[in-house]
A and B are shown apart, each in its own frame.
Chain A
Amino acid sequence: MVAIVDYGVGNLFSLECSLNAIGAEVTITADPEVLKNADQIILPGVGAFEDAAKKLRATGLDQTIRDLAAAGKPLMGICLGMQMLFDKSYEYGEHEGLGLISGQVVPMQGVIPPSYKIPHIGWNALVFKKDTPLFKYIQNGDCVYFVHSYYAANCDDAVLATAEYGPELTAAVAKGNVFGCQFHPEKSGTVGLNILKAFVEMEGKKC
């Protein structure tokens, strides 16, 4: 069973539908016990970093997620959920993340050429940087759907794939059993479903 962390951020309906479509058993939960018993955990997120980080802390689920990640359970952050895996974000101020992957989330503004629009919205090609089981069903150059204005920087060791938008922006990361996708696999057609499929096939340690 794959658990989607429900901490009051964003709409989880599409993500739930996409996991159902690949035949996964899905639970949307804020219960630490359910998360402990899940085979994999997905940390979703849409909106502003500060608000999401506050909500996650308020539920106490930040510590649960850190503990389960440390115990070896496969964890995947999506979009803002991916950004929350890092040490810090500089979105409207400076905010602490979960610190599971070293790096910072910074604005695209000033980094990408002025002719590029912000947010980075649309289908962009993945440029693979590392072998990973997460990409076992997809290919280098496959397109996925992005919607974001901030990106993860200073995390080269963890980068699985980038997407060219002026410079190459971090598209997917991993550190051990912790994965993150800046793009939305649940909105990326067959390619996205194949990424989710690879993730829910991962076996972690039962906690």
Chain B
Amino acid sequence: MITKRIIPCLDVKDGRVVKGVNFGGLQDVSSPVALAEFYSQCGADELVFYDITASSDGRKLFTDILVETAKRVFIPLTVGGGINSVADFDRVLKCGADKVSVNSGAIRNPDLVYEAAKLYGDQCVVLSADIKRVDGEFRVFAKGGREDTGMEAISWIRRCVDNGAGEIVVNSIDTDGVKKGFDLEMLEAVCDAVNVPVIASGGAGKIDDFIKLFQRLPKVDAGLAASIFHFGEVAIKDLKAEMLKANIPTRTI
């Protein structure tokens, strides 16, 4: 039976993890490689590295980190941030990424999803959509959630899936950081619209939020979160033990 995936997301700037990380037992808490190894040992099913570096020097540091991670961590690795062209796909895939997530790059250049899917396969292209309710509809936002594109989100997602996006990450700006649970209404609307894997992001504050997510919306494939894992508020081992108790299929190690 296919299992529900738990995915920690690491924001990386100039080769270091940003947003405070607070773990007992981990020496270098801002090393993406050490953190990736730690999460892999805890049972994370996949990792997302999000590159928030602006400079080209920082980009080189980022790909160096991918290489080091690929040498030590043997679970799927998705890379996002600053992906604007097929050349960007090539750059990170060569360094050990398995999937590449596009967001603003796909909004700027709608052919990017199609071109990348044709070259690397649908399974390689993840569409990450930042979505917020505006005037009673779900609206796509660009530039890290700062800019309203005016596009309706469900039709945008459907179009990207038709173009070859193999997975969708739904980031709800409305629930992000609130820690009161995932945006079930938004996620349900996306799940009803497409038949590719859907990854829920934004809003998880405790174990029960994941349990509710998978019980209420069996079509959601994975839950993604950052700070609650980094700060140890939710330990992946405990989360998975609770998922098993609730009869939600999960991989344990």
Within 8 A of A (CB), among B22-47: 40, 45
Of A21, A163, A164, A189, the contact of B75 (CB 8 Å cutoff): A189
B149 interfacial by beta-carbon distance below 8 Å: no
A143 interfacial by beta-carbon distance below 8 Å: yes
A176 interfacial by beta-carbon distance below 8 Å: no
A119 interfacial by beta-carbon distance below 8 Å: yes
Of B70, B72, B166, the contact of A119 (CB 8 Å cutoff): B166
Contact with A along B185-197 (1 / 0, CB 8 A): 0000000000111
Q: Is the Cβ of A165 less than 8 Å from the Cβ of B2?
A: yes
* Chain B contact surface mostly: loop
Q: Is the Cβ of B122 less than 8 Å from the Cβ of A119?
A: yes
Note all chain A residues with C-beta closer than 8 A to B71.
17, 20-21
Q: Is the Cβ of B72 less than 8 Å from the Cβ of A187?
A: no
Given A17-B96, A47-B121, A121-B167 in contact, is the A187-B76 Cβ separation under 8 Å? yes
B3 interfacial by beta-carbon distance below 8 Å: yes
Note all chain B residues with C-beta closer than 8 A to A187.
74-76, 98
Interface segment among A61-69, A122-130, A151-159: the answer is A122-130
Q: Is the Cβ of A118 less than 8 Å from the Cβ of B195?
A: yes
Note all chain A residues with C-beta closer than 8 A to B120.
47
Given A117-B197, A117-B221, A119-B122 in contact, is the A13-B2 Cβ separation under 8 Å? no
CA distance A33 to B76 in the complex (A): 33
Note all chain B residues with C-beta closer than 8 A to A46.
121
Given A46-B121, A121-B166, A122-B221 in contact, is the A189-B40 Cβ separation under 8 Å? yes
CB distance from A199 to the nearest CB of B (A): 15
Task: Kindly state the interface size class of chain B when it binds its partner.
Answer: 20 to 34
Within 8 A of B (CB), among A1-32: 11, 13-14, 17-18, 20-21
Of B74, B98, B121, the contact of A189 (CB 8 Å cutoff): B74
B251 interfacial by beta-carbon distance below 8 Å: yes
Contact with B along A89-119 (1 / 0, CB 8 A): 0000000000000000000000000010111
CA distance A125 to B253 in the complex (A): 12
B13 interfacial by beta-carbon distance below 8 Å: no
Of B3, B72, B195, the contact of A123 (CB 8 Å cutoff): B3
A44 interfacial by beta-carbon distance below 8 Å: no
Of A120, A145, A193, the contact of B76 (CB 8 Å cutoff): A145
Q: Is the Cβ of B166 less than 8 Å from the Cβ of A13?
A: no
A140 interfacial by beta-carbon distance below 8 Å: no
Name the residue of chain B whose CB is nearest to the CB of A11. Answer: B93
Name the residue of chain B whose CB is nearest to the CB of A192. Answer: B74
B95 interfacial by beta-carbon distance below 8 Å: yes
CB distance from B193 to the nearest CB of A (A): 13
Given A119-B122, A119-B123 in contact, is the A188-B74 Cβ separation under 8 Å? yes
* A-binding residues in B (CB < 8 A): 1-3, 5, 40, 45, 70-72, 74-76, 93-96, 98, 120-123, 166-167, 195-197, 219, 221-222, 251, 253
The 21 sampled A-B contact pairs (Cβ below 8 Å) are A11-B94, A13-B94, A17-B74, A18-B74, A21-B71, A115-B219, A117-B195, A117-B196, A119-B166, A121-B166, A122-B2, A122-B197, A123-B2, A123-B45, A123-B251, A164-B1, A165-B2, A187-B76, A188-B74, A188-B75, A190-B253
A-B contacts besides A48-B121, A119-B122, A121-B166, 11 pairs, CB < 8 Å: A11-B93, A17-B70, A17-B96, A115-B219, A118-B195, A121-B197, A122-B5, A123-B251, A145-B75, A187-B74, A193-B74
